[in-house]
Amino acid sequence: MRTLRGSSWGARIAAVCTAAMLGLFPGAWLSTAHADNGRSDVPGAVVSWGINQSGQLGQGTVTNNEPIPNRVCGSASCSSQLDHVIAVSGGGAHSLALRSDGTVLAWGSNFRGQLGNGTTTDSSTPVQVCAPGQTAPCSQFLTGIVAISAGGRHSLALNRDGRVFVWGGNDEGQLGNGTNTDSNVPIQLLSVGGVQSISAGAAHSLVSLNNGTARSWGENIRGALGDGTTTNSNVPVTVTGLTNVQSVAAGGFHSLAALTDGTARSWGGNFDGQLGDGTFTDSSVPVQVSGLTNVQSVSAGRLHSAALLTDGTVRAWGNNAFGQLGNGTTVRSNTPVQVIGLSTVQSLSAHDGDHNLALLNDGTVRAWGDDSFGQLGDGGNATIRSTPQRVCAPGQSAPCTQFLTNVTAVGAGAEHSLAIVRPSADVAIAKSAIPEPVRPNRNLTYTLTVSNHGPNTADNVVVTDDLPSNARFVSVTPSQGSCQAPPVGSTDSVRCSLGSLANSASSTTQIVVTVRANRNTTVTNTANVTTSTPDPVQSNNSVTIETPVS
């Protein structure tokens, strides 16, 4: 049987118990994947906040908790921000990110191999998850992944063929491969296929299948596997009596399922009412969550549960010692209660912790519950928030005046939080000409310098130069990428595709023309730059230079 984990858990469980006694690649996404996978249709950059004792924030340090969002490192040197990410998931003390190319990155605690990089060494910056069968240093890596989920000490990934990969701690059989041996690289779970959603709990795993049923494996001391027993299983078992499942959520000691008819089922530990059936009695088989209809998705915390309804509101039930039900009290409830002030929520995450994250339609984030380690991102000026609060923008301090915006996905860990922020670049173009002035019938060389002032990588950067009508094209030389050159002697435009430009990177392109102008006139040249990455600053995307002819 597992022990309750986390540096603060020993002290906090006493408070909880006391309170209880007193009261696919882009375009190939699976529409029903578990909300805790924190998935976005738009690749973006990752920010994190909360506890950082194991480097689970991915910011290159392990020393300080962060009560304000800050960027996750894009390299071991932390010189860039992690971007091109389409999914995030927070675990017990580690984090996962899925990139748009189908590869997976991990960071944080690794003492059970939950980072999947062939080692058991913690990492405060992202490392790439290895392919099955590899050993460190890996030369092949996990690919083709469409969903991820970080558990307490293990990790899950789902590929586009509906196959599941598992790695990390396996003391309770949470890897489902018939053993209780940890694995520091992914293992393909051969006994289960046709999976449509995944969820890694504290020490158990849960998946829903295309046929509407669910499978589970791992710890079962409170009936979290839903197979009618309280016996751990290191191989997948069928959750009893479940049909028409669209997504699942694994929590600390319990599990949830959202059904296609808009209702929800729950099973496992219920000592704080986290099953929501009006009792405090554990159940080893699914029971219906009381009075809950129009459910869009479910999310399981450590000792509480939450559901997002189709009207954009949120219901929560279970333990409320840290205000995680969001109803303005700290009184637990064994039936769903409405979270105050939320009406336009598009996704929800409460993954095996005592706090919740809600992403709103306007791209802002609300957080509530335990804030002991800054995991609410509101500046860390309170330990309990019983109503939703706005998450601050990077660089702020409490009380914040600016807040996190342009968010496309969120993921709550046990005591930390993650978000994907819509990428933005700031490409600028500058131009110089030599010689200046220029003589008639002589060559004039333009140097176009394109820079990206960030904060994210600019993709598909294209420079177009409209040649002067009184000059003739000679040659073009880009420092990177390639150009569509017009015929020599023409006045057609030059179009250069530069590829990607990282933050603070620059590229130069030299264009040579022959001047066909009289003295005491000018040669006017205009160029502009574009990128497929959103660029909110358009004023520096074009430049015009006039060169006198003498």
103: alpha, beta or left? (left if phi > 0; alpha if psi -120 to 50):
beta
pLDDT for 16 equals 36
Percent of residues, the chain, with pLDDT higher than 70: 93
pLDDT for 37 equals 53
pLDDT in tens, 106-124: 999 999 999 999 999 999 9
Peptide bond into 388 cis (omega under 30): no
pLDDT in tens, 490-527: 999 999 999 999 888 999 999 999 999 999 999 999 99
Whether the per-residue pLDDT at 545 is higher than 80: the answer is yes
Q: What is the pTM of this model?
A: 0.81
Taking all residues of the chain, what is their mean pLDDT, rounded to a whole number? 91
Tokens representing 26 are 């882009």
Average pLDDT of span 296-305: 97
Kindly indicate the confidence band of residue 372, based on its pLDDT and cuts at 50, 70 and 90.
very high
User: Cα separation of 174 and 180, whole Å?
Assistant: 8
Average pLDDT of span 275-289: 98
pLDDT for 20 equals 34
DSSP 130: B
pLDDT for 448 equals 96
Collapsing DSSP to helix, strand or coil, 508 comes out as: strand
Tokens representing 469 are 């009508």
H-helix or E-strand spanning residue 43: strand 39-50
Contact between 461 and 499 (Cβ < 8 Å)? yes
User: Cα separation of 45 and 425, whole Å?
Assistant: 11
Domain 34-421, architecture per CATH:
7 Propeller (2.130)
What are φ and ψ of residue 271, in 5° steps? -65, -15
User: Cα separation of 117 and 125, whole Å?
Assistant: 12
Whether the per-residue pLDDT at 367 is higher than 70: the answer is yes
Average pLDDT of span 273-289: 98
Whether the per-residue pLDDT at 5 is higher than 90: the answer is no
User: Cα separation of 518 and 439, whole Å?
Assistant: 9
pLDDT for 42 equals 82
pLDDT in tens, 447-470: 999 999 887 889 999 999 999 999
The CATH number of 427-549 is 2.60.40.1530
What are φ and ψ of residue 542, in 5° steps? -140, 155
Domain range list for the chain: 34-421, 427-549
pLDDT for 456 equals 80
pLDDT in tens, 140-162: 999 999 999 999 999 999 999 99
Average pLDDT of span 476-498: 94
What are φ and ψ of residue 398, in 5° steps? -70, 140
User: Cα separation of 162 and 24, whole Å?
Assistant: 10
pLDDT for 240 equals 98
pLDDT for 191 equals 85
Kindly indicate the confidence band of residue 346, based on its pLDDT and cuts at 50, 70 and 90.
very high
Contact between 242 and 213 (Cβ < 8 Å)? yes
Whether the per-residue pLDDT at 35 is higher than 80: the answer is no
Whether the per-residue pLDDT at 387 is higher than 70: the answer is yes
pLDDT in tens, 407-443: 999 999 999 999 999 878 889 999 999 999 999 999 9
pLDDT for 11 equals 36
Contact between 13 and 377 (Cβ < 8 Å)? no
Percent of residues, the chain, with pLDDT higher than 90: 84
